[in-house]
Structure 1
Amino acid sequence: MQHRRRAIHAAQALSCAIAFAATAAGAQQDEAVRAAVPQARLVGEAPMRWFGLPIYDARLFAPAGFDALELARHAFVLELTYRRALRGRDIARRSIEEMRRAPSFPEDRAGRWESELAAVLPDVQPGDRIAGVHTPGGGAAFIVNGRRAGEIADAQFARLFFGIWLAPHTSEPGLRAALLGSAQR
C-alpha cells in the first residue's frame, strides 16, 4: 500500500512538473508575442480539427482597431499551439496548398515560398507553439517556442499566408469567425 502511495505521489509530482513546464513555455511565448506587437490583445481563439482529430489551437492577437478586411495594414500575431506531432516540411507544403485558394496566388513563387517556409518551420510535437508575426509591408516573422526562427520578407507571401486563417476564402470559415471575433466583417 505504501509503495502504491509513493507511486501516486511521484505521478502527481510529474504531472505538476509537466504543467509547470507547459505554463512556462506559454508565458515565454506570450512574452515574445507582446514584444512583437506591444499593443496586441487577444482577438479570438479556436481549435483546428481535421476529421475530428485535434491539430492545433489558434489564437489571434492584434491592437485595437484591427480590421480583418485590411490585413495588410495591421501588425498582428497568429499563434498556433500544436496538439500533435507534425513534420515542418509537411506544414510548409500544406500551407502552400491552402495559400493557393487565394484568387491571386502567383504560381511562379510557390516553390520558392515552400522552400523558405520549410527552412523556418521545425518539426513540432504536442505543446509546441509557432507564432507568425505580420509586419505591414514587411512580411512574416516566425517565433517558435518563444525564440525567433526566421522571416520571409515578402508582403505578398505574408498576405496569402495569413489569409489561410483570416481571409474570406479560407477553407475553415468557422475557425476564421472565432479568431476574428468582433473584428470580423
Structure 2
Amino acid sequence: MRHALICLWLMFALPALANEADRLTQANFPAQAQQLELKNQAVLTYLWADVYAAALYAPADMRAKPSWDQQKALRLVLYYFRDIDRNDVIKAATATLERQQANARLKPELERLHASFRNIRSGDRYALDVRPGRGLNLEINGQVVFSSRDDELARAYLGIWLAPNGLSESLRDKLLL
C-alpha cells in the first residue's frame, strides 16, 4: 500500500514540477535587471491554476534574504499567466496589508499607487523596484506608472510578497532562499 501511495504521489508531483519549470521558462526572467542579479524565482498557484511567476532580484554580492532584511535594493517582477481584474488585485493587496498591520499613514500613498493599476492581461509584467533613498517604482510592461520616495511605503508594499503573513508563505520562502 505504501508503494502505491508513493507511486501516486510521484505521478502527480512530477508533472507539477515540470509545469513550474515550463512556466518559469515562459516567464523568461533575465539573469540581470536594473543592475541587480536574479536570485530566485517561483510560480504562484491558486486553486490548481498558475497565476503568475515571480522573480526576485538583489545586489550581486548578497543573497535574497539578507538583502530584504537589510533593506537593500530589490526588484520583484511578476509575469502573469491569467487575466485579473484590477479591483481583485487591489482587494488582495489591501487585505494583506491590513493583516500585516501596515501603517495607516500610508493610506493616501497606497490609494495613489492603486489608482495606477489597470486590468491585468495574460503576459503582462508588473515590477516593483525598490531603492533605499529613492523609494518605490511600479512598472507595467517596462513603463514606470507610479513612483514614491516613501521608503516605508516601498517596504510595506514589497512586504506583501516578502514579509510574514503575506500573500503566500511558500512563495515567500522560495523567493527569499
Above 0.5 in TM-score?
yes
Q: Count residues in correspondence.
A: 150
**Structure 2 counterpart of 1:107:** 104
| Counterpart-to-counterpart distance in 1, 2:30 and 2:139 | 11
Residue equivalent to 2:79: 81
TM-score (norm 2): 0.73
8 Å Cα contact 1:68-1:166 kept in structure 2: no
Residue 47 of structure 1 contacts residue 57 of structure 1 at CA under 8 Å; is this kept in 2?
A: yes
Aligned to 1:140: 136
Q: Indicate which of 155, 159, 162 corresponds to 2:158.
A: 162
Question: 2 CA distance for matches of 1:138 and 1:87?
Answer: 29
Work out the CA distance in 2 between the residues paired with 1:53 and 1:67: 26
Report if the CA contact (8 A) 1:81-1:127 is conserved: yes
Contact residue 45 and residue 51 of structure 2 kept, 8 A: yes
Point out which structure has higher relative CO (alpha carbons under 8 A, 6+ apart). Answer: 1
The aligned amino acid for 1:169 is: N
TM-score, structure 1 normalization: 0.70
RMSD: 2.5
Aligned-pair distance for 1:147? 1.6
Is the CA contact (8 Å cut-off) linking 1:116 and 1:152 kept in structure 2? no
Task: Tell me which residue corresponds to 1:10.
Answer: none
Structure with greater Cα Rg: 1
The whole-number CA distance in structure 2 between the counterparts of 1:161 and 1:79 is: 13
Q: Which has the higher helix share?
A: 1
Identity percentage of aligned residues: 25
CA contact (8 A) 1:92 1:114 kept: no
- Higher deviation after alignment, 47-56 or 86-95: 86-95
CA 1:148–1:46: 2 relative to 1, 3 Å: same
Q: Secondary structure at the match of 1:85?
A: coil
Aligned to 1:97: 95
